[in-house]
Structures are given as structure tokens and as C-alpha cells.
Amino acid sequence: MSAGDPLGRRAFVVGAGAAVLDGAAVSPVEAGVVDGPLPDFHPALKAELHFPLAWGTSPVRDFRAWRTRARAVVDEHLLVDREDGTPYAPQFTGRTQGDGCTRELVTLSLTHHERVRAALLTPHGPGPFPAVLLLHDHGAKFDIGKEKLVRPWYDDTRLASAQSWADKYFSGRFVGDELARRGYVVLCADALGWGDRGPITYDQQQALASTFYNLGSSLAGLMAREDARAAGFLAGLKRVNAGRIAAVGFSMGAYRTWQAAALTDHIAATASVCWMTGLKEMMVPGNNTLRGQSSYYMLHPGLPRFLDFPDVASIAAPRPMLFFDGGLDPLFPADGVRVAYDKLRAVWHSRHAEERLHLKSWPDLGHVFVDRMQDEVFGWLDAVL
């Protein structure tokens, strides 16, 4: 790793604690580097993050006015324009009968750039039904996207991969099929890079994100816009009760749930499993968010100058929200989860809506969404919707 020098000297890291500057050994700080990719001045930059627009810190004291202002700031940092005028123009194909539901594929325009194929499950019965926008994880596994959560009845070649993923993270269940059996319309689409919109490879993510930035746009912003639009599509279906739509997701899908809830009022409740933390507490050497690649799907440049992750989620207050974390999850240090949960509690408390916020740590679990967690989420959804 090279470090800049005003005199044009050359520096590079050797081992974990020493550097060579034009042949002379110097300390890492003198060379301008520290462990890993973090510059020696990164603690100072972290200390400057005060999240001045957070509720309770912001000079805006009216909550509705704060929500409007905070949402506008998030909107601006997505770097991707809204698609309010683009018709969805859905095309329905592949209809078949499943266990307690009708299964079909729907191809629709979430932006004016590309048509996206999604799985759509509808319970048997007259409706209208409550609905779930189901958002898939990252997992550095790109051959399947929506198939991670909905059994791919339409593609036998993906079924083995999908079942293996469900076995690893979801106790062998397909969460979307379970929800449909419980009476929910389920919509699950591929994010860019997965399934029908991929597959990309792990080391192509950074190039993809860089391309978006060079075009004045954003990979993470595109995903955020598409998720909000997908919620709007669900709300417009006659089979759906538009006031009873939840967003549910695991890992990156969990991040997508509370982000979408912050961006659109179509989402009445959110269940987010294994993605919530304080930004500063997460930015520690070795954390996945500092590696590039996967993190670009969840990176909005400049937004942390105003809001932390729980501050963005709080834009959805006082709507019902559930957050689960695993006590053994290596991706989210306990300090970060604790900071985030404390911020969320304070916001819902300020709205006299503590009963609408469900926060829970599972001390014996890691980065998973296993059957007992699912069962609690399903019961919670039944209660709040």
C-alpha cells in the first residue's frame, strides 16, 4: 500500500507495524498508513461524524417536518432519480398452483432502464390479502436472488442451489412460500447482479459500482429506488390490501427493508433480521464493510455526514418495526448493535410508540434466519398487520 508524501518520496507497508520510506524504516503513522486499508487519520474522521440531522439532534423539532427533511436528504444521496412516472406495465407468466397459493412470475419496470422479473405468490381465497415485499440477501452468491426465498418452481437448474441456501440459512425453509401459506401475497425480485439479472462474480462488484459513480449514479441508490418502487407495485394490486404491506429481509435484505420503509409510506411494517448497527462502531479493522466489493450495495456517499443507519430507519417511525440480531454474528459487533438499538428506542419512545418497536438479540445464533426466528417474525406480522 503506497502513501502520499509532499516530497515525492515512496513508502510502502512491510508486515503489520513497520514501513520503509526510501530505504529507511519509519513508523506506520510517519508513513501515513495503519493496519489494513485504514489511514492513520481515520479516527479523526470518525470523530467528526456527529449525524447532525438525527432526530433529537436536529434543530427541526416537529417530527413530521423532520421526517420530510430527513427523507429528502436520503433521497438526494441516492444519486438516482425517482421513477414516479414510469408505468410498471406488468406481464404475468408461468402461473401454477402451489401449496395453498397461486405462483406466477411477473415482469415489470421498476425503472425506465430495465425490465425485472419477480416471483409473485398469492394465497387461495377471495382477498384482498396483506402482503410482504420480500428482499433477498447478498451472501456473495449471485446465481440465485429471489430463489433464495421463493422455491423456484419455474427452473429446476436453480432448485438445488436454492435448497442448499435455504438449508444453510433458513432451516431448509423457503420464507416466501411459508408466508404465502400463512395468507400473505409475496413479491420477491432480483436485485441487479443476481439471478435473472446476473450472475456477476464477487470481484466484479467494485467495477460495477465504479461504473455507476462515473456515470453520476449509484449502485446502492438504484437498489433503494427499485425496492421502493416494488412496494408501490404491490400496493396497486387489487389482490392486496394496500394498508397492510410489510417488508421482510435477512442480511442485505434486512438493510433493504428499513431503507425502503424510510423512502416510501407504502410499507406499513418492517421485519429486519441481521442488519442494524451504528456506522462508527461497525468501522473497525477487518469488518466486511471496509473491503469494497459487497459493501457498495449499501454505500451512499456523503449520507453519513447527516444520518447514521438507525437514523435512516427512524424515518419510518412510529410504524411497527422488528429488528433481530445474532449474538454470534461476526459482521455486526455487539457495540454497534447496542448503539443502534438505543437510538431506535429513543425515537419510538419520543413518539409514545415503544410497543411498536420489537428489538431482540439471539445470543446463541450467528448470521442466520432460522425457523424459530421466522416463526416469531410470522407471529409478529400477524399481530401488527
Residue-wise pLDDT for 189-202, tens only, equals 999 999 999 999 99
Tell me the pLDDT of the chain averaged across its residues.
91
What share of the chain has pLDDT > 70, as a percent?
A: 90
**Model pLDDT, residue 284:** 86
**pLDDT (0 to 100) of residue 199:** 97
Question: What was the pLDDT predicted at 41?
Answer: 87
Least confident of 14-18, 92-96, 223-227, 366-370: 14-18
The pLDDT of residue 38 is: 77
Rounded to whole angstroms, the Cα distance separating 310 from 18 reads 38
**pLDDT band with cut points at 50, 70 and 90 for residue 149:** very high
For residue 135, what is its C-alpha cell?
Answer: 428482499
The 3-state DSSP class for residue 118 equals strand
What distance in Å separates the CA atoms of residue 31 and residue 20, rounded to the nearest whole number?
8
245 has pLDDT over 70: yes
Asked if pLDDT for residue 20 goes beyond 70, the answer is: no
Residue 269: its pLDDT value, please?
A: 98
Sheet with 357-362, edge to edge strand ranges: 91-97, 101-109, 115-123, 185-189, 129-135, 240-250, 269-273, 321-326, 357-362
pLDDT of the residue at 36? 61
What pLDDT is recorded for position 343? 98
pLDDT digits (tens, 9 = 90+) for 56-80: 999 999 999 999 999 999 999 999 9
Helix and strand numbers, DSSP H then E, in the chain: 12, 12
- Residue 17 pLDDT > 50: no
| Residue 120: closest CA among 82, 154, 86, 159 | 154
Compute the average pLDDT of residues 26-54: 72
Q: Is the pLDDT of residue 35 over 60?
A: no
pLDDT of residue 47: 92
What's the alpha-carbon Rg for the chain, to the nearest Å? 22
Calculate mean pLDDT across residues 336-344: 98
What Å distances lie between residue 111 and 101, 227, 240, CA to CA?
Answer: 28, 10, 22
Decide if pLDDT at 159 tops 50. yes
- The predicted pLDDT at position 6 comes to 34
**286 or 264: whose pLDDT is higher?**
264
The distance from CA 385 to its chain's CA centroid, rounded to whole angstroms, is 22
Query: Which alpha helices (H) appear in the chain, and where do they start and end?
Result: 28-31, 42-47, 63-77, 156-169, 175-181, 205-214, 219-236, 252-263, 279-282, 309-313, 334-350, 371-384
- Looking at residue 227, its pLDDT comes to 98
Buried b (16+ CB within 10 A) or exposed e, 339-373: bbbebbeebbeeeeeeebbbbeebeebebbbbeeb
Distance between terminal CA atoms of the chain?
52
pLDDT band at 14 (very low <50, low <70, confident <90, very high): very low
**Residue 152 to residue 193: CA distance in whole angstroms:** 18
In the chain, what are the domains?
A: 1-40 (no CATH), 91-384 (3.40.50.1820)
Q: Residue 20: phi, psi to the nearest 5?
A: -120, 125
Report the pLDDT averaged over residues 288-309: 95
Residue-wise pLDDT tens digits, 95-144: 999 999 999 999 999 999 999 999 999 999 999 999 999 999 999 999 99
Tell me the backbone φ, ψ of residue 374, rounded to 5 degrees. -60, -45
For residue 42, the model assigns a pLDDT of 84
The C-alpha atoms of residue 226 and residue 221 are separated, in whole angstroms, by 9
Residue range 206-213: average pLDDT? 97
More confident residue, 283 or 240: 240
Residue 120 forms beta bridges with which residues?
104, 187
